[in-house]
Structures are given as C-alpha cells and as structure tokens.
Amino acid sequence: MIEMQDLSFGYRGGGALLSNMTLSLPAGSFHFLTGPSGSGKTTFLRLCYADLLPSAGRLTAFGHDVSGLSRDGIAMLRRKIGVLHQDAQFLDHLPVAENIALPLTVAGQPVDMQALKDLLGWVSMSGHARAVPPALSGGERQRAALARAVIMSPDMVMADEPTGNLDWDMSMRLLQLLVELNRSGKTIMVATHDMDLIRAARQMDVQARVLRISGQRVQLAGADL
C-alpha cells in the first residue's frame, strides 16, 4: 500500500531529517509510529499523503510514485487516505455534519444522509450534528475529524498525535474507533509519543506493530504487540 525505497527527506535550509528509509506498509496493517519530539513523525506522515515530496529515493502509494503525481493526482491520493491531526481543523462556518460530509462534497459525490447519521452515531456525535466546530470540545473535535477522515471509506487512516489534547478516557474511545476501523480492513498508522496508548492497544487484541524513528531512520521497535 505504502512503500519507501531509500527515501530521504530534509527541509529546505536544514539538514536531512529522514535518511535512506526502506519500508513497506501492507494493506490492513496497524502501525504505531513513535519517536522523540522533532524526530520526524509528522514529516513521515506528510510524506505518506504527499503533503511533502521525498528529497531522494522513492515513495510509492497505492502503486503510484508520489513524486510523479500531478496536483490532481495528489488530490485523488488523499481521498484514499483519511488524515487525523492533533489540532483537527474544520471550516468553522459550517455545522459539524456538513464538515464531516465535506470530502464527499468536494469529490462531487452525493451525501447519503442515513450513512451520515450512522457515522455520527459511531463517533458518538449525533447530538452535535448542527453545532459549529468552535463549540466542540477537544475530544469531540477529534471524533468529528475521525468521522470526516473515514466518510469516503478510505483504504488507509493516518493519525498524527490524535490523543495529544485528550484525557485518558477520550483517548481510549478514539483508539477503540481506530481499532474498529482496522478490523474492518483499513490500514492504520498512528504517530504518537504516548507509550501508554501503545500499551493500551495490547488490551484491545489488535495486531499492531511499533515503528520508531531514531537517527533519521525508521526501526521496528521490538516485538509485535
């Protein structure tokens, strides 16, 4: 699904942040990505959904070399990858339900209202459908962002520190939703520095692997969960 071959990346004016990474993320897998702050976790995810392009090497997503994709091609790639950020951003002038349906709107696809209601129920946001994003708490924003990330039924969901602003109970609720998605066949990648979250995943009986970014490279961190 995602393959990296000798991939390196460095921001303009800075040194290499990631070097010679070779990695494969198979379909249906669940990965945690860990590492200290500034190690390049967010950069790794941005490379995967083509928000950044490799400085060297090759990154293939869904069979396409991302460096050769047109701008429209990159947009199409992002429709296959749902992305969840720590600071989930929305269009603040639109109600939550419209924000969640936004990927369908911009793709020109009709919104199935029943499916939207079901999705709101799945993330426990049925009561907030008409609220505007600024009125939501941190946990509600993350769950709404997760609903938006999956409404197009993407093949992969990437979450960047999704529980960074959440209390433990809400973090567990969100992790549970990600595990449910993985069980339904989605590929999941969660970047986090919260080891408790990774340990909690053990209790949920999920086949997850832990990747650690260290010294500009990605390493498999110990045994599978």
Partner 1 sequence: MKTDLRQVDWRSLWRGLIGRDSGGTSRIVPPTGFTAQLTLLTAGAMAFLAVFALALSFATGRLADRWSQSLAQTLTIRVSAPSDEIEAQTGTVMAILKQTPGIAEARMMPVDEVEQLLTPWFGPDVPVEALPIPRLIEVTESGDDFDAEGLSLRLAAEAPGAVLDDHTRWRQPLVSAANRLRMLGIVSLALIAAAGAAMMMLAAQSSLAANGQVIRVLRLIGARDVTIAQAFVRRFTRRAAAGALGGTLLGMLGIALLPGMDQAGGFLTGLSFQGWGWLWPLLIPIVAACVGFFATRWAALRMLRAVP
Which spans of this chain sit near partner 1 (rule: CB under 8 A)?
A: 49, 51, 71-72, 75-79, 83, 89-94, 98, 102-103, 105-108, 148, 152
Q: At its nearest, how many Å lie between partner 1 and the CB of residue 185?
A: 20
Q: Which is nearer to partner 1, 26 or 73 (CB)?
A: 73
Give the ranges where the chain is alpha helix by DSSP (H): 41-48, 71-78, 96-100, 102-106, 113-122, 138-150, 168-183, 195-202
Secondary-structure breakdown of the chain: helix, strand, coil percentages, each rounded to the nearest 5: 35, 25, 40
Q: At its nearest, how many Å lie between partner 1 and the CB of residue 211?
A: 23
Q: At its nearest, how many Å lie between partner 1 and the CB of residue 130?
A: 15
Q: Which is nearer to partner 1, 115 or 220 (CB)?
A: 115
Is the separation of the CB atoms in 181 and 150 below 8 Å? yes
Q: At its nearest, how many Å lie between partner 1 and the CB of residue 113?
A: 13
Rg (CA), the chain: 17
Q: Which is nearer to partner 1, 138 or 219 (CB)?
A: 138
Q: Which is nearer to partner 1, 3 or 98 (CB)?
A: 98
Alpha-carbon distance of 159 to 133, in angstroms, equals 19
Alpha-carbon distance of 24 to 2, in angstroms, equals 6
Q: Which is nearer to partner 1, 152 or 201 (CB)?
A: 152
Decide: residue 36, CB within 10 A, 0-12 exposed, 13-18 middle, 19+ buried.
exposed
Q: At its nearest, how many Å lie between partner 1 and the CB of residue 82?
A: 8
Six-digit token pair at 216?
Answer: 């500009």
Q: At its nearest, how many Å lie between partner 1 and the CB of residue 21?
A: 21
Is the separation of the CB atoms in 67 and 7 below 8 Å? no
Q: Which is nearer to partner 1, 12 or 224 (CB)?
A: 12
Instruction: Reduce the DSSP state of residue 120 to 3 states and report it.
Output: helix
Is the separation of the CB atoms in 73 and 64 below 8 Å? yes
